[in-house]
Amino acid sequence: MKHTKEMTIGLVSVAAASVGANAALAQDWSGPYAGAGVGFASGIFPHYQYDDRDYVMNGVVAAAFAGYNWETSSGMVFGAEISAQLNHNNGDGDEESSYPEDYTITSLIDAKIKAGKGFGNVLAYGFAGVSSATGTAYEGGEYSYIFSGFNYGVGAEMMMSDKLSVGVEHVMRSLYHPYDENMFNSATTQLRVAFRF
């Protein structure tokens, strides 16, 4: 009886593990989603007037995003997403400045095309797309900037339930000033939470 009881408990445990594994394998990444993220941004922005100066941008940023995924029978996942930075990011020139916040990124939008692979309840992906940003320089926003360019990066997500996933993403950008040949390279690493519909 003792051995039979132990065997029964063992079989039940194996069955439970099997059900859990099958549930993980059955995760479907298809459909719409939206969420928010928080992370750290860094990068170089060109000076408005001087080619030999630039602004170093570092700080905590928050963003909101929304997108749609399509999953194939082979587990490949393709998607499209748009994200927007929610808070302003301030910086100072490399040289000493008389203004404490003489450069501000007022908006930053990324549009991405994604491609990845689902491994049970984990999705690994890469992406590329276009980005645009606006900013102001000097006290009171005396000068205004508009940037445009491209983005690329990698990310990973883990499905916590049918409706909730958490992940991490690293996005790199190369954006250009329309009035000259100045370019800035920036990067953002974020922790993300997404809700699926």
* Mean pLDDT (10-residue bins), the chain, 197 residues: 46 41 62 96 68 69 96 93 84 53 79 95 97 77 79 97 95 80 82 96
pLDDT of residue 156: 98
pLDDT of residue 50: 56
pLDDT of residue 42: 84
Residue 21 inside a domain? The answer is no
Residue 3 inside a domain? The answer is no
pLDDT of residue 86: 83
Residue 1 inside a domain? The answer is no
Residue 15 inside a domain? The answer is no
Residue 4 inside a domain? The answer is no
Going by C-alpha positions, the residue among 6, 17, 10, 54 that lies closest to residue 177 is 54
pLDDT of residue 4: 44
Residue 76 inside a domain? The answer is yes
pLDDT of residue 98: 46
Domain of residue 186, residue span: 29-196
Domain count, the chain: 1
pLDDT of residue 161: 93
Residue 176 inside a domain? The answer is yes
pLDDT of residue 14: 38
Write the CATH number for 35.
2.40.160.20
pLDDT of residue 24: 45
User: Exposed/middle/buried for 60, CB within 10 Å: 0-12, 13-18, 19+?
Assistant: exposed
pLDDT of residue 158: 97
Residue 7 inside a domain? The answer is no
Rg (CA), the chain: 23
